[in-house]
Amino acid sequence: MIWEEHASLAPYNTFGIDAKAERLVHLTHESSVQAYYQHPNGYAKQTLLLSGGSNLLLCNDVPGTTARIAWKGMAITEETDDHVWLKVSAGESWHETVLYTVQQGWGGLQNLSLIPGLVGAAPVQNIGAYGVEVADTLESLSYFHWEKGEAHTLTAAECAFGYRDSLFKRSWKGKGVILSVTFKLTKHSHVLKTTYGALQEELHRMDLAPSVQNISDAVIAIRQSKLPDPKVLGNSGSFFKNPALSAAQVKTLASKHPAIPQYPQPDGTIKVAAGWLIEQAGWKGERVGNVGMHAQQALVLVNYGGASGPELWAHAQRVQSSVAEQFGVRLEPEVNLIG
Ligand code: EPU
């Protein structure tokens, strides 16, 4: 456990916002969670639990204690002819973990290549891309519950996953910390998912047959072509969620805007593409001071350099109001607002 006072959080959020933490503790070992739990400045004074900072908009300095998840490690816990169970610590990089599984030829995570952030945060918002969500391969996770003062195991069903949603964003929000995640990966390629349009097109364009490695390569190519690298241009991926609307609402919208991309959901709602709405509202590539919606993907809010949290949030609200005015659709942020 390493403690700092008045520490800049700029290295720990992908928008690169220079907010200060009154007190920052780096939890470098899983065992330090127990010590942190018992520490007088520990979890009881915690106002922020920081993972990779890739889904976070810091609107102010952070009072109290900010705890950074920084413990690492990876182990196979079980293996059969068909599957391998891989337990990964919360502080491991998501993308490095995916690349490791891809190199081993284990299937399950390849569609989720190049997503920024750390493994422990992946289940919180059930990260998803190119037809796959983390919920599809997650077998269980280990969770340290602050009220109980100890770790216990949750199955995937107990995590109550939904679209960019889980128990940890709802009734268990702020209740504890994910210590590690166990994935059930497959040794067979017949379960590969390649139905997402953009992925199919990219595999075809690159002349690649579907395989764990090739899907990962194609996803990386697509993401690099439209999503800005946070190390170069501050951003947090999709800023808003794709709104799920009623069939009646979509029918009305589509009668005026036939090109609107639609994704029917199992519950009867229809998701529409927020990026399309933002582009049609005229915000794609439009820069206002240091901020704007990205020129290649209108769903991505970008810090062109030196923007503050409030500046970014003000722009997000401008876009939100403009889309609401033009289409009658309210966009909800996917990103967590702090302060
Ligand atoms: N579109 C536009 N203009 C834009 C952006 C998108 O018209 O500027 C249209 C596209 O042409 C396409 C549709 O919107 O018809 C969907 O676009 P895309 O495939 O890029 O996906 P998305 O819905 O914008 C979602 C996830 C991404 C994920 C991709 C691929 C959400 C909020 N976002 O984006 O996740 O990588 O699908 O599966 O669900 C993230 O969550 O941070 C993220 C990047």
pLDDT, tens digit only, all 339 positions of the chain: 899 999 999 999 999 999 999 999 999 999 999 999 999 999 999 999 999 999 999 999 999 999 999 999 999 999 999 999 999 999 999 999 999 999 999 999 999 999 999 999 999 999 999 999 999 999 999 999 999 999 999 999 999 999 999 999 999 999 999 999 999 999 987 789 999 999 999 999 999 999 999 999 999 999 999 999 999 999 999 999 999 999 999 999 999 999 999 999 999 999 999 999 999 999 999 999 999 999 999 999 999 999 999 999 999 999 999 999 999 999 999 999 998
Q: What is the value of pTM for the model shown?
A: 0.94
- Thinking of the domain 74-191, which architecture would CATH place it in? 2-Layer Sandwich (3.30)
Domain 234-338 has CATH 3.10.20.310: no
Q: Which of 227, 229, 238, 277 to mutate to test the pocket of ligand 1 (most atoms within 8 A of CB)?
A: 238
Nearest CA to ligand 1 atom 29: 129
Catalytic residue status for 189: no
For a pocket test of ligand 1, which of 299, 301, 302, 335 has the largest count of ligand atoms closer than 8 A to its C-beta? 299
∠ CA 127-130-134 to the nearest 5 degrees?
30
What spacing in Å lies between the alpha carbon of 334 and ligand 1's midpoint?
A: 13
Per-residue tokens: 65: 């204690």
Burial class (CB in 10 A: 0-12, 13-18, 19+), 62: buried
Task: Give 117's contacts (C-beta < 8 A, 6+ positions apart).
Answer: 51, 52, 53, 54, 55, 94, 127
- Dist. CA 126 → ligand 1 center (Å): 16
**164 noted as active-site residue:** yes
Q: Where in the chain is the domain with CATH 3.30.43.10?
A: 2-69
Q: Choose the catalytic residue: 22, 286, 311, 334.
A: 334
CATH topology of domain 2-69: 3.30.43
Intervals of CATH 3.90.78.10 along the chain = 234-338
Our measurement of the distance from residue 96's CA atom to the centroid of its chain's CA atoms, rounded to an integer in Å, reads: 15
